[in-house]
A and B are shown apart, each in its own frame.
Chain A
Amino acid sequence: MAAQRDTLSIWQVVELARHQDRPYALDYIRRLAPDFVELHGDRVSHDDPAVVAGLGTWRGRTVVFLGQQKGRNLAERVARNWGMMHPEGFRKAMRMARQAVKFGFPIISLVDTPGAYPGESAEERGISSAIGAAILEWFQIEVPVVAVVIGEGSSGGALGIAVADRVLMLENSLYTVASPEAAASIVWRDNARKVEAAEQLQITSRDLLAMGVVEEVVREPEGGAHTDVDAAARALDEALGRHLDPLLRLPTADLLQHRYERFRYIDSLVAADPRFGPKVEPKV
């Protein structure tokens, strides 16, 4: 059946990543850490239901979990704002990241968003600077961080909780500079060109692995993660173990240096192309 999964069109992958039965962050978190305790609020003004945050026991240790959460039915989707975060969501995430540093707990961050909320309420509360401040602060978070794209990983809204030591993708997830609709709207001024946009953007897990942007693609059950959520969660659990265990042994200074270099040279696979020019500044 391997041939079948290899012949999915890019748009079929997009549809799988957005499948209405696809497991969401809480479906994984509750399987990884059945004792998960959710915490709420950014301690400034709001709680953002588009992102869940809390602690739980994973493999015998306390872990801080973050996850963008979509809704299963219309009422839930409205309440969760379709997983599109407001500024307070990024503040909540960073509050939890600082708490993880306080106690030395590693962080597992699950990415699943069509993007940060593209609306007036997000703008007036400073969505740009909230994302920028989060990205900046992740480089100073002195505990191991593993991010996993479990569905949609679109734009700065995804990156804002995905500045990690390792970034993994579930097989049928996507990770992109902008959702195909947004990209089509920007490039063609017509979001109906979403399929063409998706094809050009190179957004599948296989594309990102080839570009060196993610460390591992986690296999999903045949037909997609929604066909067997327990099996998908087990595969995720194993992948997290592979990546978090070595990180937990690293001295903090090495961890932060590696995280810096991971993003500083993330385009090195392509930057090494002679047409691009020198990758690293020669010593003057």
Chain B
Amino acid sequence: MVLEGGIAMSGGKLPPIALTTNCPSCGVGLVPEDLREQVYVCDCGHHFRMHADAWIAMLPDEGTWRERWGDVRPHDLLEWKVPKPYQETIEQAREEGLNEAVRIGTARLAGHDIWLAVFDFRFVGGTLSIVAGERLARGLEQATATQTPYVLVAATGGARMQEGVLALMQMAKVNGALSRLHRAGVPYLSVLTDPTYGGTPASLALQGDVNIAEPGASIGFTGPRIIRQATYAELPPGFQSADYQLRCGQVDMVVPRTELRGRLAHLLTLYGRSP
């Protein structure tokens, strides 16, 4: 079955994203409008990081996204002060129009009803927080109740330090909900983008029925800087890259962004059939 062309890209127009003037991989001068037309993938294959708005414009069928629980907001539970008060961090992000590290809602993808959860790396490094965990878990519960496939797009630095152990507990909260989704026979497709680290892959992001990595994405538990600090090890080239994780058996496939929508649609068809 070939699923190219028409549904490879969304009808929705992607929002602009912050770009460098040249591609960091091939050095070519970038034309933002052209790059936007090719879902922010350079001709050389370099995938620019997309934020939540862009994913939400790209993956759902046009006009089908319904965001949920955007009113659940974080606040500074631990009275975190240095190096920067957490309350200030939250308010500043909000002023920039960001709404937490995970946004979630219902949508259709090539006609399939889905729950779609998207990390936003711009909000405190896409960190797993109480609000992020709450949105993920509510979505998993609703997807379980309605037998609706769950699609995750991860871009995350792990658990949010400023929420302390309660951020750590989100790993259990979301995986509890995920265990029920798996038991209920509901498909879960996880897309890992650059970067995906820490508590998020160590909770739900690598527990998909299918784990899909974007080309060039760095994926791991501990980041290279901290590994070097802890072990003084020389890390091999390509360490923790998407291809490395494919070789290590952690992801099922590495799919270019231009083909992702078609691949998800195909998988939703395959997993959506009655036995």
Contact = CB atoms under 8 A, between A and B. Distances in A.
Interface in A168-216: 175-178, 182-183, 185-189, 191, 196-197, 200-203, 208, 211, 213
B248 A125 contact: yes
B183 A132 contact: no
B220 A128 contact: yes
B71 interface: yes
Interface string B206-248: 1100000000000111100111011101011001100010001
Contacts of A131: 202-203, 221
Most buried by B among A128, A163, A178: A128
Contacts of B80: 200
A270 B248 contact: no
Interface stretch (B52-60, B104-112, B171-179, B265-273): B171-179
B201 A128 contact: yes
Nearest to A84: B230
A133 interface: yes
Contacts of B163: 177
B231 A128 contact: no
B221 A270 contact: no
B138 A281 contact: yes
A264 B173 contact: yes
A39 interface: no
Interface residues of B, number: 72
B182 interface: yes
B28 interface: no
A136 B202 contact: no
B77 interface: yes
Nearest to A123: B220
A82 to B, nearest CB: 10
A266 B183 contact: no
Interface of A: 116, 118-120, 122-129, 131-133, 135-140, 155-156, 159, 163, 175-178, 182-183, 185-189, 191, 196-197, 200-203, 208, 211, 213, 259-260, 263-264, 266-267, 270-271, 273, 275-278, 281
Contact of B165 (A120, A128, A129, A176): A176
Contact of A128 (B72, B134, B206, B227): B206
18 contacts: A118-B221, A128-B250, A129-B206, A131-B202, A132-B203, A135-B171, A139-B179, A159-B169, A163-B172, A177-B160, A189-B225, A213-B166, A263-B172, A267-B170, A273-B75, A276-B73, A276-B75, A277-B72
Interface of B: 69, 71-75, 77-78, 80-83, 130-131, 133-134, 137-138, 141-142, 157-161, 163-173, 175-180, 182-183, 198-199, 201-207, 219-222, 225-227, 229-231, 233, 235-236, 239-240, 244, 248-250
Given A136-B175, A264-B177, A276-B75, A124 B248 contact: yes
Given A128-B202, A128-B220, A266 B230 contact: no
A18 to B, nearest CB: 16
B168 to A, nearest CB: 4
Contacts of B222: 116, 118-119, 122-123, 127
